[in-house]
């Protein structure tokens, strides 16, 4: 306790604008010209949110077979607890966490384990998964259920319960939530940032969750506040969802240390480092974590699930997914059992015609699937279907870089994508990392979005990073080999 | 449609902005001034204009074919047309055809393609061509003429114009000095600037007499881009509005030139021309809005652009005032072009989460 108060003093809740008059003036002007709080740079893609923004969350039926990959999160894959042929009940644990940075899996439906084998993923390589044949005649009641009061639980118990629930970042990050509640030694969390930005085009599931699952969300925030020992929570919402801000403000009891704030609608506002900058004017050091500035960030969807599951001791078996895009007949927001194949989802919403590309997540950072058998996993916030003639799939003529500087003004972390792109063409992958901070790029796609020469910058950077990773591994193997002999 | 081979890499959204669009927006912005001046200087200027742009496109095509690059694809970016257009706007309107062709050879193969094509050139191709022509053919390149608007009594007909442009037969008595040139010459004869300015306005020894208002509207001797400052300014503001260029370079170029002019004019009005004169005469507006702002050869960061603009303004004033040439914009732009890489190097913005020196931000309250 004594150790912690010492840290608290120097890491108090920052009060923005107190440092100097200039800064205050600066922020005043910023707000005058730009409206709500924001970060530097970024882009304003067409939102397409009107397709689903006012579609209430509906329940998706069960597919015949669910595919539950053992690695749906960052960290180690879960270890199966079931055998082929075993019957499982909805909500029953079917795989356990492997050490701390891992989460268990729960049966998303009552049925029988048909196989444990390889399944396709959006990332590319096939991955071990549990194939669950659904009993359609079963009641699909969640029997794994035990009431408990999180307010009476200790911090340690809550963190354990969050891991047991199999909770990961549902905004797309898929980082195990309990790990974030346990800051590295010497870090104290003062503020909980609740991410309700949803800056990706098309996606509206977080918007609906804030409107429809408000009480579960507030319960989840209180649990996370207790677990992280944070003093306050701020819900950051882009100002294209002011109805959600008003709704939250009305529902949050006055004595709670929770506020809802609008931030500018700008991509990538929902990137955690950007949102921390917008709300608190704090900059997470390069290569660091939000905990380094005393902040923990959770997505609204994650906390709504937390508020729903923890008091009942249940596991994560479904999530809200936006199914949208110009190729979809009846777009909407759906509660989808984890493991539902994308093919089934698209059959349910209906297609207008042939498919061009199907993206898991949003169009900026999401991944196109190579097969419709890819299942919805815990981190899939949206399924966006594009028709073959969609402009973003058209073959664009690539011209040389004309140094227009658009990408420099778009990059939220002020990298020089133009220079990085030239270096990538020259295959100077090492220089990209050593002199131009390639590793800090989080592949938000802003540079590729604005490039008038249609240079696929983000793709170049992904390739360069993976080549650098391979080179590093080879180098380490070489060092290992020389050490041994 | 969905399969491993057809799967694309994100992002699956793109702004509608393209290189071609950018180039043609710039051309659109140049159009009012161009059309007015083609009218002002008649058929010979129209012929030269066509020859210059045509030569730029042809030389670009030849270079691309020789380099084994896709010709139509690259030509369609519109950059060769724009280079030719800008170059034509800096030539004396009644210059012979070979000036345009030779300019294209300087601009495209030497200043652009030799460096690797679009985006790779260090110097602004149109300015390289103009300076090379000016140094090599000083007489032809300074043969400014007084305006002879199309369909006016003094304007040459199409046949005469072909003789002027392709035969080099410029009739006597049509040449006239530009304002900058006149002031410079008179100063060397010991006539103070304020006096020569008034004389230029009165047109004591000219065949054509512009008054000071004509300096701004463009009814005066000069190149196509030099004359109508107001139309060029409108085009420049249009580019800013369309967000093709930002204010940084034009404002610093014009501001520096105006400040230097005003400051020294206050010190010695006999030797130094006033700031406003510097801003509205010569190719100041064309340079500030269209030449110095060239993406490829100017710094990418905003801070770098401020430094670049101040440099262009300062050098233009120095050359106009102290050097042998009456107009210094082209030289100033080229000199600053050579500094662009180093300006870019020293104006790299601070990265998110890092200090100016590039180290990760220190942790506050580290236990």
Give the distance, in angstroms, between the CA of residue A390 and the centroid of all CA atoms in the same chain.
Answer: 26
Using CB atoms within 10 Å of the CB of residue A114, give its burial: 0 to 12 exposed, 13 to 18 middle, 19+ buried: middle
Specify the residue for token string 């509906």. A58
CA B121 → CA A425, B109, B114, B340, distances in Å? 17, 11, 8, 11
What is the per-residue pLDDT across A217-270, written as a single tens digit (0 to 9) for each?
Answer: 999 999 999 999 999 999 999 999 999 999 999 999 989 999 999 999 999 999
Mutation target among B18, B72, B76, B365 for the A interface, most CBs of A within 10 A: B365
* Percent share of chain A, pLDDT over 90: 74
pLDDT at A13: 41
What is the per-residue pLDDT across A163-176, written as a single tens digit (0 to 9) for each?
Answer: 999 999 998 889 99
Mean pLDDT score across all residues of chain B: 84
pLDDT at B214: 61
pLDDT at B175: 66
H-run or E-run covering A109: none
Q: What would the DSSP string read from start to end of A375-437?
A: BP-TT--EEEEE-TT-GGGS-PPP-------HHHHH-TT---HHHHHHHHHTT-HHHHHHHH-
pLDDT at B279: 86
Task: Show the domains of chain B with their CATH numbers.
Answer: 19-346 (1.10.3430)
CB atoms within 10 A of CB B291: 28
CA torsion through residues A464, A467, A471, A476, sign: positive
Query: Which among A185, A412, A462 has CB closest to B352?
Result: A412
> H-type helices in A117-213, by residue range?
155-164, 177-180, 205-212
In whole angstroms, what is the distance from residue A81 CA to residue A92 CA? 10
Tell whether the model's pLDDT for residue B311 goes beyond 90. yes
Query: Which among B11, B15, B363 has CB closest to A364?
Result: B11
Query: Two tokens at A459?
Result: 């793709």
Specify the residue for token string 């949206």. A382
Task: Give the CA-trace dihedral at A58, A204, A71, A178, to 10 degrees.
Answer: -100
pLDDT at B173: 57
Query: Which among B119, B350, B361 has CB closest to A402?
Result: B119
Mean pLDDT of B41-45: 87
H-run or E-run covering A455: none
Give the distance, in angstroms, between the CA of residue B294 and the centroid of all CA atoms in the same chain.
Answer: 9
How close B73 gets to chain A, by Cα (Å)?
8
CB atoms within 10 A of CB A115: 15
Mean pLDDT of B257-268: 92
Tell whether the model's pLDDT for residue A34 goes beyond 60. no
Mark A149-182 as b/e (b = at least 16 C-beta within 10 Å).
ebeebeeeebbebbbbbbbbbbbbbbbbbbbbbb
Q: Give bridge partners of residue A112 from the DSSP assignment.
A: A87, A133
Tell whether the model's pLDDT for residue A88 goes beyond 90. yes
Mean pLDDT of B3-27: 82
How close B99 gets to chain A, by Cα (Å)?
28
Query: Which among A357, A399, A408 has CB closest to B19?
Result: A399
pLDDT at B367: 40
Percent composition of chain A: helix, strand, coil (DSSP 3-state, to 5):
35, 20, 45
Residue, of A431 and A35, whose pLDDT is higher: A431
Tell whether the model's pLDDT for residue A10 goes beyond 60. no
Cβ of A369 within 8 Å of Cβ of B350? The answer is no
Tell whether the model's pLDDT for residue B208 goes beyond 50. no
Question: Which chain B residue lies closest to A10 (C-alpha atoms)?
Answer: B365
Tell whether the model's pLDDT for residue A27 goes beyond 90. no
Tell whether the model's pLDDT for residue B51 goes beyond 80. yes
Cβ of B351 within 8 Å of Cβ of A286? The answer is yes
> H-type helices in A300-353, by residue range?
300-309, 342-349
Tell whether the model's pLDDT for residue B157 goes beyond 90. no
Give the CA diameter of chain B.
Answer: 88
Residue, of A395 and B44, whose pLDDT is higher: B44
> CB-based contact (8 Å) between B366 and chain A?
yes
Mean pLDDT score across all residues of chain A: 89
The ipTM (two decimal places) reads 0.80
pLDDT at B359: 85
């Amino acid at each position: 306790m004594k150790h912690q108060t010492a840290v608290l003093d120097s890491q108090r809740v920052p009060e923005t604008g107190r440092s100097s008059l200039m800064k205050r003036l600066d922020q005043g002007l910023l707000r005058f010209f730009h409206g709500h709080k924001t970060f530097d740079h970024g882009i304003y893609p067409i939102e397409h949110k009107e397709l689903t923004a006012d579609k209430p969350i509906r329940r998706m039926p069960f597919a015949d077979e669910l595919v539950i990959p053992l690695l749906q999160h960052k960290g180690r894959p879960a270890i199966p607890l079931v055998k082929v042929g075993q019957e499982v009940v909805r909500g029953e644990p079917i795989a356990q966490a492997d050490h701390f940075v891992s989460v268990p899996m729960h049966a998303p439906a009552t049925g029988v384990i048909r196989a444990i084998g390889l399944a396709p993923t959006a990332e590319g390589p096939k991955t071990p998964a549990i194939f669950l044949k659904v009993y359609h005649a079963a009641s699909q009641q969640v029997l794994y259920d035990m009431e408990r009061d999180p307010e009476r639980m200790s911090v340690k118990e809550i963190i354990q319960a969050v891991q047991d629930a199999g909770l990961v970042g549902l905004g797309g990050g898929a980082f195990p939530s309990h790990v974030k509640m346990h800051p590295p030694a010497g870090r104290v969390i003062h503020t909980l940032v609740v991410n309700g930005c949803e800056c990706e085009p098309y996606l509206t599931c977080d918007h609906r969750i804030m409107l429809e699952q408000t009480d579960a969300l507030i319960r989840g925030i209180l649990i996370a506040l207790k677990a992280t020992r944070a003093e306050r929570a701020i819900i950051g919402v882009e100002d294209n969802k002011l109805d959600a801000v008003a709704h939250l403000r009305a529902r949050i009891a006055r004595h709670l240390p929770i506020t809802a704030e609008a931030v500018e609608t700008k991509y990538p506002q929902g990137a955690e480092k950007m949102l921390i900058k917008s709300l608190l004017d704090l900059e997470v050091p390069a290569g660091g974590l939000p905990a380094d500035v005393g902040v923990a960030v959770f997505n609204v969807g994650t906390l709504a699930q937390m508020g729903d599951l923890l008091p009942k001791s249940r596991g994560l078996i479904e999530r809200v997914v936006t199914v949208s895009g110009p190729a979809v007949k009846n777009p909407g927001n759906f509660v989808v059992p984890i493991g539902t194949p994308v093919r089934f989802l698209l059959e349910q919403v209906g297609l207008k015609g042939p498919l061009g590309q199907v993206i898991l997540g949003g169009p900026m950072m999401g991944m196109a699937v190579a097969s419709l058998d890819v299942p919805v996993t815990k981190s899939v916030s949206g399924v966006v279907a594009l028709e073959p003639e969609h402009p973003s799939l058209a073959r664009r003529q690539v011209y040389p870089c004309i140094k227009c500087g658009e990408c420099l003004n778009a990059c939220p972390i002020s990298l020089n994508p133009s220079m990085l792109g030239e270096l990538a063409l020259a295959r100077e992958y090492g220089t990209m990392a050593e002199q131009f901070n390639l590793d800090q790029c989080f592949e938000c796609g802003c540079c590729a979005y604005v490039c008038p020469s249609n240079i696929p910058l983000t793709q170049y950077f992904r390739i360069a990073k993976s080549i650098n990773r391979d080179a590093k591994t080879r180098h380490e193997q070489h060092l290992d080999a020389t050490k041994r002999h | 449609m969905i399969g491993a081979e057809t799967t694309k890499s994100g992002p699956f959204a793109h702004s509608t902005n393209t290189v071609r669009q950018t180039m043609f927006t710039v051309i659109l912005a140049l159009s009012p001034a161009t059309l007015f001046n083609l009218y002002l200087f008649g058929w010979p200027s129209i012929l030269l204009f066509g020859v210059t742009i045509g030569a730029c496109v042809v030389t670009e095509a030849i270079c691309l074919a020789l380099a084994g690059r896709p010709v139509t694809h690259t030509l369609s970016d519109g950059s060769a047309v724009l280079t030719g257009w800008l170059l034509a706007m800096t030539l004396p309107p009644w210059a012979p055809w070979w000036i345009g062709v030779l300019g294209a050879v300087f601009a495209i193969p030497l200043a652009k393609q030799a460096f690797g094509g679009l985006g790779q050139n260090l110097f602004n191709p149109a300015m390289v061509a103009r300076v090379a022509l000016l140094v090599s053919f000083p007489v032809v390149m300074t043969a400014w003429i007084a305006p002879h608007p199309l369909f006016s009594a003094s304007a040459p007909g199409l046949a005469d114009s072909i003789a002027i442009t392709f035969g080099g037969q410029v009739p006597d008595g049509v040449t006239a000095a530009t304002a900058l040139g006149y002031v410079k010459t008179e100063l060397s004869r010991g006539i103070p600037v304020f006096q020569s300015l008034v004389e230029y306005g009165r047109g004591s020894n000219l065949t054509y007499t512009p008054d000071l208002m004509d300096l701004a509207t463009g009814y005066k001797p000069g190149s196509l881009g030099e004359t109508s400052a107001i139309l060029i300014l409108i085009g420049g503001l249009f580019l800013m509005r369309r967000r093709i260029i930002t204010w940084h370079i034009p404002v610093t170029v014009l501001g520096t030139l105006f400040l230097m002019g005003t400051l020294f004019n206050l010190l010695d009005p006999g030797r130094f021309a006033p700031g406003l004169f510097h801003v509205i005469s010569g190719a100041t507006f064309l340079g500030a809005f269209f030449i110095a702002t060239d993406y490829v050869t100017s710094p990418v960061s905003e801070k770098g652009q401020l430094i670049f603009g101040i440099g262009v303004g300062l050098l233009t004033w120095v050359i106009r005032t102290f050097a042998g040439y009456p107009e210094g914009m082209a030289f100033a732009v080229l000199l600053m072009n050579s500094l662009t890489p180093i300006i870019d190097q020293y104006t790299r913005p601070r990265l998110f989460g890092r200090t100016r020196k590039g180290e990760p931000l220190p942790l506050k309250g580290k236990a």
